[in-house]
Homo-oligomer: A and B are copies of this chain.
Amino acid sequence: MNDTDIYELLDKVSKQEMSIDDAVLKLRKEPFEDMGYAKIDTHRGIRQGYAEVIYGEGKSAEQIVGICDKMLQVEEKRILITRLSKEKADIVGESFQLEYNELGRIGLIGKKPKCDGIGKIVIAVAGTSDIPVAEEAVFTAQALGSEVYKLYDVGVAGIHRLFSHVDDIMSATVIIAIAGMEGALASVVAGLANCPVIAVPTSVGYGASFGGLSALLSMLNSCGSGVSVVNIDNGFGAAYQANMINHIGER
């Protein structure tokens, strides 16, 4: 229930088109009625036009279908499902119209919205092994309404490749820098760009990469200004925040 809905309800009450009792009932009928939870959530729904998000890991395909069923009854138009394996996607796809990205292990029920942000999100990716994380980010950003520009395979070991895209980097509204191993990409990109950089360490590497710890620490210690960091392999989280930034001031 968004502000408009509340307004309409109150308008009806004001015009005696709806009884007070019915209005109380309707206001309470939100999932967490005794706390007025829905207002917050609806507020969210309205303003953002965002898709609801389900973290697919550790949920069975059946559970996911069940949750989606309930969500769609209350008119949630888009549902983004992350960490969704191919197997589960196949089952979910039998019940709903699902756009699925296998590399990024992510799917969307409902249609991707038109891109309407301030500018574009550049997603810079160090190596080919980081692509699954990158695809999760790309898909998420698009599902939330942002234009995305992909810069794949621009790791610092062949820094000229990154530099051949210096114009793209400079034209970004927000950049997502995705890298495993030593994670130096975030610092180099931040040194070139004039916009916020959200760094995503990946678990790509071996030995002393310790499952992404090396890249994580590297990014947290970035000497470049304007860098913040999300969890290892969290392409979704980076894109979610990047999209927020790309829609800043847009209430």
Contact = CB atoms under 8 A, between A and B. Distances in A.
B43 A37 contact: no
Given A32-B163, A173-B248, A215 B221 contact: yes
Contacts of A240: 225-226
A36 interface: yes
Nearest to A126: B223
Contacts of A221: 180-183, 205, 207-209, 214-215, 231
A20 B31 contact: no
A78 to B, nearest CB: 14
A164 B37 contact: yes
Contact of A170 (B30, B38, B43, B249): B43
Q: A207, A241, A249: which has the most chain B beta carbons within 10 Å?
A: A207
Contact of A31 (B29, B36, B219): B36
Interface string A119-134: 1000000111100000
Instruction: Give the bracket for the number of chain A residues in contact with chain B.
Output: 35 or more
A201 B240 CA distance: 21
B183 A218 contact: yes
A33 B166 contact: yes
In the complex, which of the residues A36, A38, A198, A232 has the most CB atoms of chain B within 10 Å of its own CB atom? Answer: A36
B188 A207 contact: no
Candidate in A180, A183, A184, A251 with the most chain B CB atoms within 10 angstroms:
A184
A200 B118 CA distance: 26
A203 interface: yes
Interface in A125-167: 126-129, 155-161, 163-164, 166-167
A237 B35 CA distance: 30
14 contacts: A6-B24, A31-B163, A32-B166, A35-B164, A41-B160, A55-B127, A63-B128, A156-B184, A173-B248, A181-B222, A182-B219, A183-B221, A208-B212, A226-B244
